[in-house]
A and B are shown apart, each in its own frame.
Chain A
Amino acid sequence: MLPNRKEHFMATTSQLPVSRLCFVDIARIFGIALMYYGHFIESYMKAGSAVAAMHYKFIYSFHMPLFFILSGYIAKEHVFNTGFDLYLKRHAASRLVPYVFLSTILIIPTFWNTGNTVGLELPTVEGYVKGISATFLAGVPYFNIPTWFLICLFVVEMMHYITSRFLVSNYRIILISGVFYLTGSILAWNAGILGPINILSQHGKIFPYFMIVEAFTCYSLYLVGVCLRRNNILVGIIPAYKCFLGALLCLVLLYYTYDLNKGMFVIPFYDAVILFASSHGNPILFPLTAVTGSVMIMLLAKLTTDIKVLMFLGRNTLIILGLNGVFYHFINDRLATWLLALHSDDVMIILISGIVIALVSILLTIPFIFLLHYFTPQLVGKPKLDGPLIPRLVS
């Protein structure tokens, strides 16, 4: 008999076998695939495709929240038992070091290909001064936009360190999640000066943004993941037909709700949820679609846990996420403009070309997964490993 409610709650939920959470890796790679698709579709949208804009809106209603929910789902318990120094060091090594590395390597191609870097006049000294200082002093990854997630996750994990000792019951988790969500929403609407997109304007100023405003909202999503895991939701074996029906139900709900969220976005030309810009739209519909879509992907992942390729890719999502910057900044816009001129906004062609290009792009990252893991694992989220070039960063 456990002595109290807190210990019982923690003990029954925190020591689940790792093998039971394989589906999280699968869900992550599904999320990454959606990100690749969404970023390519964004280029179609910028080239003037209304069809692509709807696909974009659908995917963006849940694909980034999914990553935060999954991060919360696999978050370690009792983090407050670790000393803050060590916690900070570990997370800086596994989040900030890859951020710096992946941002830095994408500066190099801008010397001969200026790519898609909104608000930067490249290649000029002024442009590089702004881009580099924004990346390293303000935590706004100008040269590799997708890596904003790493900065935000780092801040979210610091928030988790502070609050984790209070997360002793479902009631508390929901309450704290609600408080963070409310704070995040208020800040998103009323503290525009703290938002990183300020930098993007011609005379944008550089402050240490580090996605702090958005981290409040993202931490509330992270706690959704913590809550699901603490209550063993989706942990055990679920019959395939139940997963399928559940995912289908989520899809139907998502389909009928995602486009209701309109008219309240911060960026007028992107009618979609964009966490990077703290643009959530309707404060009720946003979390509804975010959680529904995330559960849908998690259920689909439960159906496919036996596929080894997905497992491999799912365990290397950080590299695949970081390398998306290459396609996002240097390839997608030109390719989408060229393709759109050929087929003029046909639904099926947009869908099929988007899927094919997303999959090919992911496949192209595989050699780099092996290379980076072999030579510099410490720079891509494995700071505890020794490598041929750099020793381990943390013990």
Chain B
Amino acid sequence: MKVISILFKGAAVLLPGITFMIYYNLRMDVQHFEPHIYTMIGGKVLVAKIKGDPDITMDTAEVTLYSAGRKLKLSPSYMSARHLKWNQRDTTPKQDWVVYYSRIVSETAIGLADIKDTAEVSIFYDRREKTEIAEILHVGRYDEIPESLEKLRQFIDKEGYRLSGFYEEVYHVFESIEPNLNEYETLLRYQVDR
């Protein structure tokens, strides 16, 4: 009887907490795919700046940053691609896009060893400051990204913000680790202000 009583008391104490956790996590599951605005923390990045059609330059960037990571003994991190102007996608021909591919590094990363720039790629460290951004998770093929961007821009308008700087893609699930194009996961970000 004593054990049963303890179990009942335990359940009475834990049940509200467990119920709340389930409710909260279900809500996060839904919100995961919704656009949102927040302040992104700053930090140091290793950048590979490449000009050209991203369908081609993305592979170069991936290999460059991965090799640099191995050489400089960097801990694993996601690759992102940043356009300094948010409207480069719409105003510039694809073959002239300048994209800053990057990966986060620690402050202890200071040298580039014997890694040198090439004719197509210039590689360097950069610091990124705390920035207010609007973000959406895009799940699916890259050619469907404009639809998600449209949804994100509508959200930005609705919240009373405006596009003020860069546009960025962060590749969480991409071709090197997922053969199915519809399973790709890419974070899409715009720098915003009021």
Contact = CB atoms under 8 A, between A and B. Distances in A.
Contacts of B31: 203
Contacts, number: 83
A282 B110 CA distance: 21
B104 to A, nearest CB: 5
B106 A270 contact: yes
B75 A48 contact: no
A50 interface: yes
A45 B36 contact: no
A133 B21 contact: yes
Contacts of B41: 46, 118
A203 B28 contact: yes
A266 interface: yes
Interface string B92-107: 0000000000011111
Given A50-B107, A53-B107, A204-B28, A263 B20 contact: no
A154 to B, nearest CB: 17
A267 B36 CA distance: 23
Interface string B36-71: 101001111000000000000000000000000100
A202 interface: yes
A267 B73 CA distance: 14
B21 A268 contact: no
A269 B106 contact: yes
B118 interface: no
A53 B28 CA distance: 34
Given A133-B24, A137-B17, A268-B76, A49 B32 contact: no
Contacts of A262: 73-75, 108
Nearest to B73: A263
A49 B127 CA distance: 11
Contacts of B17: 137
B194 to A, nearest CB: 15
Given A50-B110, A202-B38, A262-B75, A269 B21 contact: no
B41 to A, nearest CB: 7
Contacts of A52: 107
Contact of B108 (A53, A133, A205, A264): A53
Contacts of B105: 268-269, 271
Contacts of A168: none
Nearest to A138: B21
Interface string B109-148: 1100000000000000001000000010000000000000
Contacts of B164: none
Given A48-B127, A53-B107, A202-B36, A271 B28 contact: no
A70 to B, nearest CB: 28
A53 B106 contact: yes
Nearest to B110: A50
B108 A50 contact: yes
A265 interface: yes
Nearest to B24: A206
Interface of A: 45-46, 48-50, 52-54, 57, 118, 121, 129-130, 133, 137-138, 202-208, 259, 262-272, 281
Given A204-B28, A205-B28, 12 more contacts: A48-B44, A54-B108, A129-B24, A202-B36, A203-B28, A207-B21, A262-B108, A266-B75, A268-B75, A271-B106, A271-B107, A281-B75
Closest 5 CB pairs of A and B: A271-B106, A268-B77, A53-B107, A263-B73, A265-B75
